[in-house]
Chain A
Amino acid sequence: NAGVTQTPKFRILKIGQSMTLQCTQDMNHNYMYWYRQDPGMGLKLIYYSVGAGITDKGEVPNGYNVSRSTTEDFPLRLELAAPSQTSVYFCASSSRDRWKQGYTFGSGTRLTVV
């Protein structure tokens, strides 16, 4: 199993540019999440989804958008990149038994906005 796959692994954006971070999972998980991790910090939730067609804001949603048209995919969109969005972004997924099996994370996308 591939688990959770994120692309790209690295990206440099100029201020004001847009991009989509891709995330796909092959475990048929209902729940999917986007986190950002700044240096020396924990994970902050940007958006999450409990199933196809359903998304909700997390702690730090400003400047981001998401969609969930299929169970497998949960892309994160940055419309107008700002230096404050320089971070490592992690996508994760879980089943309804997340209390037992936890989250499965991708390997991250390192984004630099200059």
Chain B
Amino acid sequence: TQLLEQSPQFLSIQEGENLTVYCNSSSVFSSLQWYRQEPGEGPVLLVTVVTGGEVKKLKRLTFQFGDARKDSSLHITAAQPGDTGLYLCAGDTSGSRLTFGEGTQLTVNP
């Protein structure tokens, strides 16, 4: 069973601060996805990264896939209260299903 470790598990910051969330594994993934989940809802896909070293930007969010395709990071610039939520990474090993990390609970205080 592949294991995805996310850090930190909890993060509470002030509006306007920057932050980085990490997702690490000993397994190689064919692709890696990031989801955000808000209370009472299911996770929603933010981005998929496929190529080692790939960087994708989504407004204030920057996603990076490690060169060896074993790890990824999510960087948020100038965080806003609307960024509050549970951030989940999920890896695909070309099987039929994704393996999810435990998540990072982000709280951005106004």
Q: Do A and B come from one complex?
A: yes
Residues of A within 8 A of B (CB): 4, 31, 33, 35, 40-43, 45, 48, 50, 56, 58-59, 90, 92, 98-108
- Contact-residue bracket for chain B: 20 to 34
CB of A104, distance to nearest CB on chain B (Å): 8
Given A42-B100, A59-B1, 11 extra CB contacts under 8 A = A40-B9, A42-B6, A42-B88, A56-B96, A98-B98, A99-B50, A100-B50, A101-B45, A105-B43, A107-B40, A108-B41
* Pair count A-B, CB < 8 A: 61
Given A42-B102, A48-B96, A59-B1; A99-B45 close (CB under 8 Å): no
Which residues of B sit under 8 angstroms from A100, Cβ to Cβ? Answer: 31, 48, 50
Give Cα A35–Cα B90 distance, bound, in whole angstroms. Answer: 13
Which residues of A sit under 8 angstroms from B107, Cβ to Cβ? Answer: none
Q: Which among A35, A45, A105 is the interface contact of B44 at CB below 8 angstroms?
A: A105
- 17 interchain pairs (CB within 8 A)? A33-B97, A40-B105, A42-B100, A43-B100, A50-B96, A98-B92, A98-B98, A99-B31, A100-B48, A102-B35, A103-B33, A103-B35, A103-B90, A105-B42, A105-B43, A108-B41, A108-B42
